[in-house]
Amino acid sequence: MNKPQMPPILVVDDNHDNAEIIRQYLEIHGYPITVAHSGDEAIALFETVRPAVVLLDVMMPGRDGWDVCRVMKQHPTLGRSVRVIMVTALDEWQDKREALQIGADDYVEKPFDLPTLAATIQRNLEVQRAVAS
């Protein structure tokens, strides 16, 4: 029996502990996880890892999450299908509109509980599958 392919996820967070917790939790759910600790590392890995979902922390030193989102969404081959989930508090109406402008698909507020995170990833993967078919 063929086990269905679990889609790869790229977790981008400069906080190593955070990233490790997320990685372990999602791996229990069966997703192949790659971690990047900076925006630059995330972009460098993007084409090799080809993630279905990118979990992107906004507050990072160096290249921030918004820039990474923009670069990934504008990628000629991968930009269309990848789902980018911003990890940030988007309380204000304006923040959400800006996130839309940059092309973000969803967001998750910090601090988040892991089940919420898993559910968010799941719903984005479902949409992605529906769009692909």
Partner 1 sequence: MIDSTLLTDSDQEAIDKAVGQLDGWRVERVSSAELGTAVSNANGVRAVLVGGDDPSILRDVVERAHLAGTPVIVSCADDTIRRRAVELRAEEWYRCPTEPEEIAQRIRAAVARGYPHAQAASDRVERVEYEQMLHDSLTGLPTLPVMIERSRALFKERGELVVLYLNFVRYSKIEEIYGWEKLDAVLETTAAAVREFLDDTAMSTSRLMVSFTNDDDFIFFHVPAAGVAGPTENEITEMVARLQRHVGSRIETQHGEDIAALFDIYVGRAHVYYNPKIRLERLIYRGIREAANASRSIEELERARRVADLRSSLRDRAVYVDYHPIVITETQEIFGYEALARGVMRSLRSPEVMFDVAAEADLVWELSRLCRSRAIEGMDTQLRDKQLLFLNVDPHDFSDPAFNENEVKYPERVVIEITERTAIKDYPKFRERLRIFRERGFRFAVDDAGSGYAGLGSIANLEPDFIKLDISLINAIDTNFIKQNLVETMVRFANDHGAMVIAEGVERAEEFKAVKDLGVHLVQGFFLHRPSHLPQPVLRTPSAVPG
Residue 105 CA to residue 52 CA, distance in Å, equals: 12
Determine which residue in the list 15, 44, 59, 110 makes contact with partner 1, applying CB under 8 A: 44
Helix (H) / strand (E) containing 55: strand 53-57
- How many residues form the binding site for partner 1 (CB under 8 A)? 39
Contact flags string 77-106 toward partner 1, x per CB under 8 A: --x----------x-xxx-xx-xxx--xxx
Query: How far is the C-alpha of 81 from the C-alpha of 16, rounded, in Å?
Result: 27
CA-nearest of 64, 63, 65 to 86 is: 65
**Binding site residues, partner 1, CB under 8 A:** 3, 5-6, 8, 32, 34, 40-41, 43-49, 71, 74-76, 79, 90, 92-94, 96-97, 99-101, 104-107, 120, 123-124, 127, 130-131
